[in-house]
Structure 1
Amino acid sequence: MVGLPQDPAALYRQIRASLRDRESREDFVMPASYMFHDVPASHADGEADPVAVVLGELDRHGVDVALISLSANTEAARRALTDHPERFVGSWTCDPNRGMDGIRELVRVHEQWGVRAVSLFPHGVSPQVAIDAPQMYPIYAKCVELGLPVFVTVGVAGPRVPSMVQHVERVDQVMYDFPELVFVMRHGAEPWTDLAVKLMLKWPNLYYSTSAFSPRYYPANIIEYANTRGADRVLYGGYFPMGLSLDRIMTELPGVPLKAEVWPKFLRENAARVLGLTDAS
């Protein structure tokens, strides 16, 4: 998970409209600034090419392939996919409130750009839509049909908005109704990580991404699961440039107590399999 640098005001416009407390609306650079240190006032340099900036960071830290959103920065993201298809794969964010218009748009984007994943933010749309709500089901069905995994924000939301739409227990019903759906829990699942582990033991197509977490704060029970029965289910996810620099992430990663045989799966193989990339070695 990598973002292309852009103006935070544009990136967070939709979720900011739902915020009610003064600090979030007026002081925070990003909606969850209280959770991160040294969030830059802007991660966009008007003089710099955002694609070149990200490629430079990927090269500097030995990252081969990045998953980027076509929804967040359309022009730059499309240029990244066109000019560097070996380095970038695309995802598309769906708003379940758009109904069939959103489904048709997903199909068009998939056909034109070959997106390999769909992102869903239950807390970040207006009105909010729960993980197991009826509005989500057409998206899940289309993802099964297209062979696309869904990356869904679960757990207490970072921004100061209600979080029950993302309770991990809601995933259980979705996996029952869509056993072919590849579902990746994103952004922590806290404080319900024990339940997240229990559900991954139960459902073979359920995964966990460490996105939006500094490695020093990866939940201990997730790491324990990865080191035991979950080596094939936990995959690395970043948060550059929204809240974490790659410098910080890569500096802290060696301190994560994963077994030697788990690291290749965590850093590469699991994501390659989930995203349908040909090279999973």
Structure 2
Amino acid sequence: MAEITAKMVADLRAATGLGMMECKKALVEAEGNMEKAEEILRIKSGAKAGKLAGRTAAEGVLAYAVEGNAGALVEVNCETDFVAKDAGFLAFAQSVAKTAVAKKPASVEELAALVEEERKAVIAKLGENISVRRFQVIETANSLTAYIHGAAATEGVLVEFKGAEDVARKVGMHIVAAKPQCVSEDQVDAETVEKERHIYTQQAIESGKPAEIAAKMVEGRIKKFLAEVTLNGQAFVMNPDQTVAEFLKANGAEVVSFVRYKVGDGIEKKEVDYAAEVAAAAKV
């Protein structure tokens, strides 16, 4: 059998992007044949991707792409914040966003299928489960912009607007900070409004106020509630003395719709004892 040199291991690692130990084991199994070793790694990497599929991917990033009259915001998950910062993972997330805009898939399953081979390749290199969790495409005759908050890229928004982009981008920053549910009052779910109205009505009744005063109290609270959950009604974070609607009007702009995501929303994270994992691995 040919001697397995450090250069051979390094060359195989450069070609595959996999770990040093994995590359060395593959070379030993292939008796020093580089081509066969690469084939072994490809086969084993595919198996690894399958084994990792059951592990919780609750970290990750948001990415967006805007091309012409279409834009997409996507969430791509991984298992650890360490991998979430990896250049290869970030490139994959950006590729998913571009694919969403270009292909406009009908479902997340369809989008995932379009990037499956690329996903497996990234899993093979990074050794973590990676998944495309959700996306939304906006196709419009209006303009589009996006804002992703911070280096971690875990909160962001895609905004459909009319007017100047710098104005819309500032409002995008507001959306990430203030988390409105929708643009305007007419978009608030009627059932939600009635639920709030019922609660406020019961509170007013129990307070012993006369019916006429209680009714005014209820309407006042409903108005306040709608202002809190709608973009147009919220106080603008960059100038709380005016609402977002007033800021937009003063600048001749309008937000038509938006998509806001925060990585991991709704995913139950599994607590991992990494010290115990390392200790267990050392015993192998």
Bin for the TM-score computed over the shorter chain: under 0.3
Choose 1 or 2 for highest CA Rg.
2
- Say which structure, 1 or 2, has more relative contact order (CA 8 Å, 6+ apart): 2
> Larger strand proportion, structure 1 or 2?
2
TM-score after normalising by structure 1: 0.21
> Larger helix proportion, structure 1 or 2?
2
TM-score after normalising by structure 2: 0.20
